[in-house]
Chains A and B, each alone.
Chain A
Amino acid sequence: MTDFETGTPLVKRGLAEMLKGGVIMDVVTADQARIAEDAGAVAVMALERVPADIRAEGGVARMSDPQLIDEIKAAVSIPVMAKARIGHFVEAQVLQSLEVDYIDESEVLSPADYVNHIDKLGFDVPFVCGATNLGEALRRITEGAAMIRSKGEAGTGDVSEATKHIRTILGEIRHLSSKSSEELYVAAKELQAPYALVKEVAETGKLPVVLFTAGGVATPADAAMMMQLGADGVFVGSGIFKSGNPEQRARAIVRATTHFEDPAVVAEVSRNLGDAMVGINVNDLPAPHRLAERGW
């Protein structure tokens, strides 16, 4: 239809705008996808293994089987996302041909290219990418990312890295906004990001795309804290289906994300939730096993 122009930056970023205030859940089966949708997830991330299992089992982590992605797509009406390895543009081409709604170029999988990320502007399907700081976020946006998530440390259930990354990104934006116009040229050099984008962020006081948070969110209070810190929404990976009662925990995290500023709601949904995922303290992880350090 000639009246409709597809694949524009506006419609790529627009879908992320509609996910705001929502929870995106990792799922590994069609059944889990239905549970997530019933609990009120705004989207699901179709995976073969959740990050906690990737961590436990080790080995190279790759794009999921297209058959699994198709089954999950058929099971739900909410958007379905899927992960490609950093720099693996053919995995991204495959995911686009499967008509997933969003591609996550993700450090949770083993990188396929230690120099280049995917040229995301060449795709009609939108991309979300992880970032630990503002410079990294702006480089991903320059490459065409239509949504950013702070990385955190996936598969740990330890929220401290998520806290650090969202605070860093938003703190650096506030700092940028306080700079004079001549200082922005140096800021662009230091952030290793294009001047025009740095100037835009300085003027608007926000990223030009939606900013979610990810990596270690395991409880309703974790999700509400991320929202109070300024995230537009949250990704929950292993935190739901590695817990004692996934249905109830999924619903509770969705509700706490909506009423993140109301401790009474967060308290109410946190009652009798059962065991959270056991988790790992990030400080106990040897550096080579820290996923957030993948990507640059």
Chain B
Amino acid sequence: MVTVGVLALQGGAREHLALIESLGGKAIAVKKQSDLGDIDALIIPGGESTTISKLLTVFELKKPVGDFIDAGNPVLATCAGLILLATEVDGEPGYFQKLPIKVKRNAYGAQLASAEAIVDYQQGSENAAFIRAPKILDSGDSEVVGKVSDEVVAIRNGNIMAASYHPELTNSTMLHRKLLEMAASN
């Protein structure tokens, strides 16, 4: 069985853990470097990206998580997770710089602009929540995975999938099923 780790320093880890379990995977919360040794794939959840980045640095997880990604293991990053992986955030270098995209944080505005929207995937459509969401300004050579109308909101680049929204808050399973498939064939 595939074991998926969910980075659980801060933010919405609980829903991702439950979603993976509901799809038949094993899910564990990742808080320490040693947790990374037990997993086949990693989810970097939503939360406050500044908070999560500080905690990754303080608890010396930046390099181990970076190495886990560089080793080609499947990764799903949502909202804050996408911000952490991007090479460029608000015109500045990103935190991990593992995903060659340009993003803008809080791109829609304050919480009043947070919204639900239908995300269209190749295989169908699912409702998702955009909470103080970032925007993908330039997805580079990434494959487009999900869109709202013409706006690119989910992408894949090699072993990394990333979405600007929260599929886990609406039990939208498309990306999680894909992650489990990637992990099973890795």
Ordered by A's residue number, 15 sampled pairs between the chains whose C-beta atoms are within 8 Å are A4-B108, A6-B115, A10-B116, A11-B114, A14-B129, A18-B79, A18-B131, A20-B13, A41-B51, A43-B48, A73-B110, A77-B105, A101-B132, A126-B111, A259-B59
Instruction: Contact check, B117 vs A77: say whether CB atoms are below 8 A apart.
Output: no
What residues of chain B lie closer than 8 Å to A130, measured between beta carbons?
Answer: none
User: Contacting chain A: which of B4-12, B36-44, B93-101?
Assistant: B4-12
Give Cα A102–Cα B110 distance, bound, in whole angstroms.
10
Give Cα A258–Cα B50 distance, bound, in whole angstroms.
14
Q: In whole Å, how far is A93's beta carbon from the nearest beta carbon of chain B?
A: 13
Binding site for B on A (CB under 8 A): 3-8, 10-12, 14-15, 17-22, 37-43, 73, 77-79, 96, 99-102, 124-126, 251, 254-255, 258-259
What residues of chain B lie closer than 8 Å to A102, measured between beta carbons?
Answer: 111
Scan residues 114-136 of chain B and give those whose CB is less than 8 A from a CB of chain A.
114-118, 129-132
Give Cα A285–Cα B91 distance, bound, in whole angstroms.
52
Partner of B51, one of A3, A42, A125, A126: A42
Instruction: Contact check, A3 vs B149: say whether CB atoms are below 8 A apart.
Output: yes
Q: Does B46 contact A (CB under 8 A)?
A: yes
Give Cα A35–Cα B88 distance, bound, in whole angstroms.
24
Q: In whole Å, how far is A267's beta carbon from the nearest beta carbon of chain B?
A: 15
What residues of chain A lie closer than 8 Å to B58, measured between beta carbons?
Answer: 40, 251, 255
Partner of A258, one of B14, B55, B79, B115: B55
What residues of chain A lie closer than 8 Å to B130, measured between beta carbons?
Answer: 4, 11
Number of interface residues of B (CB under 8 A): 42
What residues of chain B lie closer than 8 Å to A11, measured between beta carbons?
Answer: 111, 114-116, 129-131
Q: Does B157 contact A (CB under 8 A)?
A: no
Q: In whole Å, how far is A290's beta carbon from the nearest beta carbon of chain B?
A: 31
What residues of chain B lie closer than 8 Å to A41, measured between beta carbons?
Answer: 51
Interface bits B35-72 vs A (CB < 8 Å: 1, else 0): 00000000000111011001100110000000000000
Instruction: Contact check, A14 vs B8: say whether CB atoms are below 8 A apart.
Output: no
Instruction: Contact check, B48 vs A4: say whether CB atoms are below 8 A apart.
Output: no
Q: Does B184 contact A (CB under 8 A)?
A: no
A-B contact count, CB below 8 Å?
A: 132
Q: Does B17 contact A (CB under 8 A)?
A: no
What residues of chain B lie closer than 8 Å to A15, measured between beta carbons?
Answer: 111, 114, 131-132
Partner of B13, one of A6, A12, A21: A21
What residues of chain A lie closer than 8 Å to B12, measured between beta carbons?
Answer: 17-18, 20
Are A19 and B166 CB-contacts (below 8 A) given A7-B112, A40-B55, A254-B55?
Answer: no
Instruction: Contact check, B115 vs A4: say whether CB atoms are below 8 A apart.
Output: yes
* The 10 residue pairs across chains A and B that have the minimum distance between CB atoms: A4-B115, A101-B111, A11-B114, A21-B10, A99-B110, A40-B54, A42-B48, A6-B115, A14-B131, A40-B51
Instruction: Contact check, A18 vs B46: say whether CB atoms are below 8 A apart.
Output: yes
Are A14 and B14 CB-contacts (below 8 A) given A22-B47, A99-B109?
Answer: no
Q: In whole Å, how far is A250's beta carbon from the nearest beta carbon of chain B?
A: 11
Instruction: Contact check, A78 vs B48: say whether CB atoms are below 8 A apart.
Output: yes
Listed residue (A12, A18, A99, A125) with the most chain B CB atoms within 10 angstroms of its CB = A18
What residues of chain B lie closer than 8 Å to A7, measured between beta carbons?
Answer: 112
- Extra contacts, 5 of them, besides A18-B12, A18-B132, A254-B54 (Cβ < 8 A), are A12-B114, A22-B10, A40-B50, A73-B110, A79-B132
Instruction: Contact check, A21 vs B8: say whether CB atoms are below 8 A apart.
Output: yes
Give Cα A78–Cα B132 distance, bound, in whole angstroms.
10
Instruction: Contact check, B48 vs A101: say whether CB atoms are below 8 A apart.
Output: no
What residues of chain B lie closer than 8 Å to A100, measured between beta carbons?
Answer: 110-111
Are A6 and B31 CB-contacts (below 8 A) given A17-B12, A20-B11, A40-B51?
Answer: no
What residues of chain A lie closer than 8 Å to B50, measured between beta carbons?
Answer: 37, 40, 77-78
Q: In whole Å, how far is A41's beta carbon from the nearest beta carbon of chain B?
A: 7
What residues of chain B lie closer than 8 Å to A254, measured between beta carbons?
Answer: 51, 54-55
